[in-house]
Amino acid sequence: MSQKIGFIGIGAMGSAIASRLIGSSTLLVNDLNPALASPLEERGARFAALDEIATCDVVFLSLPGPDNVVKLLLGDGGLAARMTPGSVVIDTTSSTPIVDEGLARELAVRSISYIDAPIAGGVRRAYDGLATLMVGASEKDFARVKPLLNTITANVFHLGPVGAGHAAKLVNNLLNHCNRFAAIEMLTLAERYGIAPEVMIDVLNMSSGRSYVTDYTYPEIVFPNLKQGFTLELMRKDAHLAGALADHVGQELRVGSLVAEMMDEAVDRLGGTADQTDLMRKWYPPAHD
């Protein structure tokens, strides 16, 4: 008998992750905006109230941030109080190890396991099963959920105990933000000298300046005029969460702190709901003759 899976938070990334679970299990989904469930329902998922989600063997979360996770699980009438002992929460939200450790302790009192398993690689790659899951869990809990995680992607990395997955995600995302701003600046410099961005990208991808941003984001998303499906407000949140992690372990982030400040400026200039690709197209105004 297949296990019953719950999934709360089916925005752009949540929907991509949830889509990979359809067919392998009974999938129940929930979101503050029920209309988001339609594409998943067409493929076999079912929208369900939180009370029913609480009866699932495994509950995935994909929420805007750690405060949302804490409120959902432990707030007044929180989900944890309704969940069955022996069940598992898998949090794919971009969060922090500090929050993870507190949640794991609180849920353990109720005999509920907590696993942090954030995802990287973008929405399109998540739909295609090509993204990366970074997992923080006990050995026992990881062994229990690994087959399920492998239905989402073959790229599953168990990095250590609870919190390790979110630490790795924050490192990854801040480095991606740094690479993004660096690529924007350098491509603009090349263009203002007279080198077309498409040509410069080809050069970079055969040279030492190559990164995920040049190899994938520009040719596959920006140049075809597509959206990446990740807002500037979420970018800013991740940058500042990485800064909080650095403070927690006593490390100075000189480049990362500058990028966090630039993200604040980007949200002020372009709006928090703007897509990452809007940043890449609008950070520098068009060159003037």
Say what the pLDDT of residue 25 is: 80
Is there a domain that residue 63 lies in? yes
Whether 102 and 186 map to the same domain: the answer is no
Say what the pLDDT of residue 35 is: 95
Whether 148 and 15 map to the same domain: the answer is yes
Whether 147 and 207 map to the same domain: the answer is no
Q: What is the CATH number of the domain that holds 232?
A: 1.10.1040.10
Whether 130 and 227 map to the same domain: the answer is no
Range of the domain at 14: 4-161
Q: What confidence category does residue 172 fall into, taking pLDDT thresholds of 50, 70 and 90?
A: very high
C-alpha to C-alpha distance for 148 and 15, rounded to whole angstroms: 16
In the listed set 161, 189, 220, which residue is the last one of a domain according to the structure? 161
Q: What confidence category does residue 121 fall into, taking pLDDT thresholds of 50, 70 and 90?
A: confident
Whether 70 and 180 map to the same domain: the answer is no
Query: Would you say 94 and 234 are in contact if contact means Cβ atoms under 8 Å apart?
Result: yes
Is there a domain that residue 10 lies in? yes
Is there a domain that residue 100 lies in? yes
Whether 140 and 182 map to the same domain: the answer is no
Whether 150 and 231 map to the same domain: the answer is no
111-120, 121-130, 246-255, 259-268, range with the lowest pLDDT: 121-130
Give percent of the chain with pLDDT exceeding 90. 91
Say what the pLDDT of residue 2 is: 66
What is the separation of C-alpha 93 from the centre of its chain, rounded to a whole number of angstroms?
6
Taking residues 149-177, what's their average pLDDT?
96
Q: What confidence category does residue 289 fall into, taking pLDDT thresholds of 50, 70 and 90?
A: very low
Whether 151 and 177 map to the same domain: the answer is no
Q: What is the CATH number of the domain that holds 32?
A: 3.40.50.720
Whether 29 and 47 map to the same domain: the answer is yes
Say what the pLDDT of residue 228 is: 87
Number of structural domains the chain divides into = 2
49-53, 119-123, 149-153, range with the lowest pLDDT: 119-123
Q: Please state whether 31 falls in left (phi above 0), alpha (psi between -120 and 50) or beta.
A: beta
- The structure's pTM equals 0.90
Residue of 177, 164, 160 whose CA lies nearest to 249:
164
Whether 25 and 119 map to the same domain: the answer is yes
Check whether 1 has a pLDDT greater than 70: no
Say what the pLDDT of residue 286 is: 65
Residues 125-134, buried b or exposed e (16+ Cβ, 10 A)?
Answer: bbbeeebbbb
Whether 130 and 273 map to the same domain: the answer is no
What is the separation of C-alpha 144 from the centre of its chain, rounded to a whole number of angstroms?
22
Check whether 287 has a pLDDT greater than 70: no
Amino acid at 145: V
